[in-house]
């Protein structure tokens, strides 16, 4: 960075800085030291995280002649690269969910990356909020990657592709990869006292869609069987190609204690996840310092919304 005297203009990177008062060598050195300290204090990270404060520092400055040799090399660009506001240097594009310039320019918030477009969320208006334009993926079609993994849409695939370019990841085909079930959220160990209700949950991703069964260790009978105080519920979601199941035991008894397993299967394979139930009597609880656990609500009764109402879970 260089500064001149009086009304002279001297280059600062690709922008122009004007000194409004005479500057001598001492002033120049002080300004240079201040700028050095300021630049060290500014956040360090990927270009798309820094661009916000850079734009605030440069707001109001005009573009000068483009010098490609002065352009920094963008790094960590998970959504690809776009030209800056001066159509000169390449910089990181905005990711899905980041605020963007609605007029498709690159003057303040920035442009969206590959397969993304800047949209206003009309849902914010319904909730009385001021809508902010955000980068939104243009597709909701799931993809199967060459790594055998299913990606929710092309934008998620692109982020992984750009983060590991050495892997040479490609799209194998549209639609999810066929795979054995994967338990995303397994049931967890639970304890409670007699007379209370307990709930085990099991969330599974698979394509083709998985079926879920519950069994208690030591018994081959599928639950709930003919036991009226045990019930099983299912629903699709919360995401596409997922299914969630709950096992509820009402007014638990000491005889309910044991290990319960969630079995998920499709025509590719099967997987299981165990969880244990410990049942205490009120007298046993009084002898401990344990506090009664809070019971979760059953998922089907919650007001759960998916990211896309058009999802066909099955």
CB-based burial, 81-119: b 16+ in 10 Å, e otherwise: bbebbbebbbbbbbbbebebbeeeebeebbbbbbbbebb
- State the alpha helices, DSSP H only, in the chain: 25-41, 47-58, 122-126, 154-163, 282-286
Q: What is the arithmetic mean of pLDDT over 234-242?
A: 88
- Whether the Cβ atoms of residue 16 and residue 9 lie closer than 8 Å to each other: yes
- Whether the Cβ atoms of residue 270 and residue 180 lie closer than 8 Å to each other: yes
The whole-angstrom separation of Cα 209 and Cα 129 is 37
pLDDT at residue number 220 = 85
The whole-angstrom separation of Cα 295 and Cα 249 is 12
pLDDT at residue number 32 = 58
pLDDT tier at 31, thresholds 50, 70, 90: low
The whole-angstrom separation of Cα 164 and Cα 19 is 45
**What end-to-end distance do the CA atoms of the chain give, in Å?**
61
The whole-angstrom separation of Cα 77 and Cα 84 is 14
The whole-angstrom separation of Cα 238 and Cα 181 is 15
Task: Kindly report each contact of residues 282-291 with a partner whose C-beta sits within 8 Å and lies 24 or more positions away, as own/partner.
Answer: 282/193, 282/194, 284/193, 285/193, 290/191
Domain boundaries, the chain: 69-122+130-138, 143-177, 180-286
pLDDT at residue number 9 = 37
pLDDT at 229 > cutoff 90: yes
| pLDDT 10s digits, 181-208 | 999 999 999 999 999 999 999 999 999 9
Q: What is the arithmetic mean of pLDDT over 175-181?
A: 91
Which position has the higher pLDDT, 291 or 138?
138
Q: What is the arithmetic mean of pLDDT over 304-311?
A: 41
CATH no. of 69-122+130-138: 4.10.40.20
| pLDDT 10s digits, 3-15 | 333 333 333 333 3
The whole-angstrom separation of Cα 47 and Cα 157 is 20
The share of the chain scoring above pLDDT 70, in percent, equals 70
Structure tokens at 196: 């209370």
CATH for 180-286 (2.60.40.10, 2.40.128.120, 3.50.30.10, 2.120.10.30): 2.60.40.10
CA nearest neighbour of 240 among 300, 184, 301, 302: 184
DSSP state string for 49-80: HHHHHHHHHHTTPPP----GGGPPPP---TT-
pLDDT at residue number 246 = 97
Burial class (CB in 10 A: 0-12, 13-18, 19+), 73: exposed
Which position has the higher pLDDT, 210 or 11?
210
**Average pLDDT in the chain:** 79
Q: What is the arithmetic mean of pLDDT over 75-85?
A: 91
| pLDDT 10s digits, 248-294 | 999 999 999 999 999 999 999 999 999 999 999 888 888 776 666 76
The whole-angstrom separation of Cα 70 and Cα 290 is 65
């Amino acid at each position: 960075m260089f500064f001149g005297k009086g009304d002279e203009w001297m280059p600062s990177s690709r922008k122009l800085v004007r000194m409004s008062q005479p500057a001598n060598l001492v002033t120049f050195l002080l300004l240079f030291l201040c700028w050095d300290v300021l630049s060290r204090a500014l956040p360090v990270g990927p270009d798309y995280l820094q661009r916000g404060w850079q734009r605030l520092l440069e707001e109001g400055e005009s573009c000068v002649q483009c010098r490609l040799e002065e352009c920094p090399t963008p790094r960590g660009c998970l959504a690809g690269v776009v030209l800056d506001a001066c159509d000169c240097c390449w910089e990181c594009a905005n990711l899905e969910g980041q605020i963007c310039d609605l007029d498709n320019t690159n003057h303040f918030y920035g442009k969206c990356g590959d397969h993304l477009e800047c949209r206003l969320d009309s849902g914010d208006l319904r909730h009385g909020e001021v809508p902010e334009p955000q980068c939104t993926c243009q597709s909701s079609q799931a993809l199967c990657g060459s790594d055998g993994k299913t990606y929710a849409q092309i934008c998620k695939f692109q982020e992984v592709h750009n983060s590991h370019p050495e892997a040479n990841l490609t799209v194998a085909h549209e639609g999810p990869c066929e795979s054995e079930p994967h338990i995303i959220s397994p049931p967890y160990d639970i304890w409670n006292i007699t007379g209370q209700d307990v709930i085990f949950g099991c969330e599974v991703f698979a394509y083709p869609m998985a079926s879920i069964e519950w069994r208690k260790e030591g018994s081959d009978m599928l639950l709930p069987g003919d036991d009226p105080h045990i019930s099983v519920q299912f629903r699709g979601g919360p995401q596409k190609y997922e299914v969630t199941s709950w096992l509820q035991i009402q007014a638990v008894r000491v005889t309910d204690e044991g290990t319960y397993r969630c079995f998920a299967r499709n025509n590719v394979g099967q997987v299981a996840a165990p969880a244990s139930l410990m049942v205490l009597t009120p007298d046993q609880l009084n002898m401990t310092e344990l506090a009664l656990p809070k019971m979760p609500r059953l998922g089907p009764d919650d007001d759960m919304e998916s990211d896309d109402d058009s999802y066909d879970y099955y």
